[in-house]
Structure 1
Amino acid sequence: MSATVYLAAADGPDQPLADALVRALPRYGRRGAVRVTRAGDPGSADWFLLLASPESARDAAVTTAIRQRLAAVGVERLQVVVTTGTWEWDSARGELSAGSTAAPEPLRTAFPAEPRHMPYRGDRMHPPAPRDPVFLDQLAEIVAPVVGTTKDDLVGEDVRRQHRVRRLTRIGAAALAVLLVVAGAGGVLAVQGAAAADRARAEAEAQRDDADSRRLAALAQQVAGADGALARLLAIEAWRIAETDQARDALALAAEVAGDWEITTTSDDVTRLIGHASRPIDIALSETHIATVDATSMLRIWPLGEVSSPVQTESSSGLVDLAWSHDGETLAAAGGRVHLFGADGGALGFAGPRSPASVVGTWGESGFVAGGDSVALIEDGRVIAERAVAELGFTDRAVFVEGDRTGERVLAASAAGQVALLDAGLQVVAQWQFTVTVDQFGERDSARTLAWDGDARVVLPPDNETILGPVLRQGAPDAQDGAIAGIYHAHTGEALEPLISTGHLPLPAASAVFLPDGSAVAITPGGLESPPAFGGTASAPDLSGVPLPLQAELVRTSPDGAWLAVSGAGEEVHLLRIGGSPPEESDDPLVRACAAAGRNLTDAEWAIHLPDRPYRATCDGFDAPGVR
Structure 2
Amino acid sequence: MSATVYLAGANGPDQPLADAFACALPRYGHRGAIRITRTGDPAAADWFLLLASPESANDPDVDAAIRQRLAAMGVERLQVVVTAGTWEWDNARNAVSAESSAAPEALRHAFPVEPRHMLYAGDRTRRPAPRDPLFLDRVAEIVAPILGTTKDDLAGEDVRRQRRTRTLTRIGAGVLASLLILAGAGGVLAVQGAAAAGQARAEAEQERDDADSRRLAALAQQVAGTDGALARLLAIEAWRISETDQARAALASAAEVSGEWEVTTVSDEVTRLIGHASYPVDLALSDTHVATIDVASALRIWPLGALASPTQVDSVHGLVDIAWSHDGESLAAAGGRVYLFGADGQALGFTGPRAPASVIGAWGGTGFVAGGESIALIDEGRVVAERPVSEVGFSDRAVFVAGNPAGDRILAGSAAGHIALLDADLQPIAQWQLVVAIDQFGDRDSMRALAWDGDDRVALPPDNTGILGPILKQGAPDAQDGAIAGVYHAQTGEAIEPLVSGGYMPLPATSAVFLPDGSAVAITPGGLESPPALGGTSTAPDLTGVPLPLRAELVRTSPDGRWLAVAGDSEEANLLRLGGTENSENSENSENTESAESAESSDPVVRACAAAGRNLTEAEWAIYLPDQDYRATCDELDAP
Matches within 5 A, 1:481-496: 481-496=481-496
After TM superposition, give the deviation of residue 541 of structure 1 in Å. Answer: 1.8
SS at match of 2:186: helix
Q: Aligned letter for 2:289?
A: H
Q: Aligned letter for 1:619?
A: C
Matches within 5 A, 1:34-73: none
Match of 2:264 in 1: 265
Match of 1:597 in 2: 612
Match of 2:33 in 1: 89
After TM superposition, give the deviation of residue 264 of structure 1 in Å. Answer: 4.0
Within the alignment, does 1:423 sit opposite 2:423 as a pair?
yes
1:429 to 1:505, Cα distance in 2 relative to 1, 3 A: same
Identify unmatched segments of 5+ residues in structure 1: 1-79, 81-85, 95-105, 119-138, 176-196, 472-476
Residues 520 and 540 in structure 1, CA contact (< 8 A), matched pair in contact too: yes
Compare CA radii of gyration and give the structure with the larger one. Answer: 1
After TM superposition, give the deviation of residue 438 of structure 1 in Å. Answer: 6.7
Match of 1:287 in 2: 287
Q: Aligned letter for 1:266?
A: T
| Distance across 2 between alignment mates of 1:479 and 1:319 | 41
Deviation digits for residues 389-432 of structure 1 (CA, Å, limit 9, x no counterpart):
33323333222211111112112222222222222232322232
Q: Aligned letter for 1:488?
A: Y
| Distance across 1 between alignment mates of 2:445 and 2:620 | 45
| Distance across 2 between alignment mates of 1:611 and 1:359 | 40
Q: Aligned letter for 2:447?
A: S
| Distance across 2 between alignment mates of 1:348 and 1:613 | 34
1:591 to 1:561, Cα distance in 2 relative to 1, 3 A: farther
Q: Aligned letter for 1:596?
A: A
Deviation digits for residues 80-128 of structure 1 (CA, Å, limit 9, x no counterpart):
9xxxxx944333769xxxxxxxxxxx9964476998999xxxxxxxxxx
1:107 to 1:412, Cα distance in 2 relative to 1, 3 A: closer
SS at match of 1:528: coil
After TM superposition, give the deviation of residue 609 of structure 1 in Å. Answer: 11
| Distance across 2 between alignment mates of 1:322 and 1:290 | 11
Match of 2:181 in 1: 165
1:146 to 1:107, Cα distance in 2 relative to 1, 3 A: farther
Q: Aligned letter for 2:265?
A: T
Deviation digits for residues 569-610 of structure 1 (CA, Å, limit 9, x no counterpart):
233322222223333525465666423113446999999999
Q: Aligned letter for 1:407?
A: G
Q: Aligned letter for 1:576?
A: L
Identify unmatched segments of 5+ residues in structure 2: 1-26, 36-44, 48-144, 472-476
SS at match of 1:391: helix
After TM superposition, give the deviation of residue 559 of structure 1 in Å. Answer: 1.0
Within the alignment, does 1:334 sit opposite 2:350 as a pair?
no
Match of 2:296 in 1: 296
Q: Aligned letter for 1:530?
A: S
Residues 89 and 114 in structure 1, CA contact (< 8 A), matched pair in contact too: no
SS at match of 1:377: strand
Matches within 5 A, 1:118-137: none
1:107 to 1:564, Cα distance in 2 relative to 1, 3 A: same
Residues 239 and 248 in structure 2, CA contact (< 8 A), matched pair in contact too: yes
Residues 467 and 486 in structure 2, CA contact (< 8 A), matched pair in contact too: no
Q: Aligned letter for 1:578?
A: L
| Distance across 2 between alignment mates of 1:459 and 1:565 | 18
| Distance across 1 between alignment mates of 2:628 and 2:337 | 49
Matches within 5 A, 1:169-188: 170-172=185-187
Match of 1:455 in 2: 455
Q: Aligned letter for 2:537?
A: T
After TM superposition, give the deviation of residue 524 of structure 1 in Å. Answer: 0.7
Residues 156 and 619 in structure 2, CA contact (< 8 A), matched pair in contact too: no
Q: Aligned letter for 1:165?
A: I
1:341 to 1:438, Cα distance in 2 relative to 1, 3 A: farther
Residues 274 and 572 in structure 2, CA contact (< 8 A), matched pair in contact too: yes
Residues 598 and 622 in structure 1, CA contact (< 8 A), matched pair in contact too: no
Residues 601 and 617 in structure 1, CA contact (< 8 A), matched pair in contact too: yes
Residues 468 and 505 in structure 1, CA contact (< 8 A), matched pair in contact too: no
Residues 523 and 553 in structure 1, CA contact (< 8 A), matched pair in contact too: yes
| Distance across 2 between alignment mates of 1:373 and 1:604 | 38
Matches within 5 A, 1:225-374: 229=229, 232-233=232-233, 258=257, 263-268=262-267, 269-374=269-374
| Distance across 2 between alignment mates of 1:523 and 1:267 | 19
After TM superposition, give the deviation of residue 614 of structure 1 in Å. Answer: 6.7
**Which shows bigger deviation, 592-601 or 323-332?**
592-601
Match of 1:385 in 2: 385
| Distance across 1 between alignment mates of 2:346 and 2:620 | 32
Q: Aligned letter for 2:433?
A: Q
SS at match of 2:610: helix
CA RMSD of aligned residues (A): 5.2
Match of 1:617 in 2: 632
Instruction: Work out the number of aligned pairs and report it.
Output: 469
| Distance across 1 between alignment mates of 2:510 and 2:180 | 73
| Distance across 1 between alignment mates of 2:352 and 2:266 | 42
TM-score after normalising by structure 2: 0.60
Q: Aligned letter for 1:445?
A: S
After TM superposition, give the deviation of residue 262 of structure 1 in Å. Answer: 5.5
Residues 341 and 348 in structure 1, CA contact (< 8 A), matched pair in contact too: yes
Deviation digits for residues 330-380 of structure 1 (CA, Å, limit 9, x no counterpart):
111122222211112222222323333222211111111122233222211
Deviation digits for residues 506-555 of structure 1 (CA, Å, limit 9, x no counterpart):
01111111111111111111111111111111221222122211111111
* Percent of matched pairs sharing the same residue: 62
Matches within 5 A, 1:527-538: 527-538=527-538
1:457 to 1:307, Cα distance in 2 relative to 1, 3 A: same
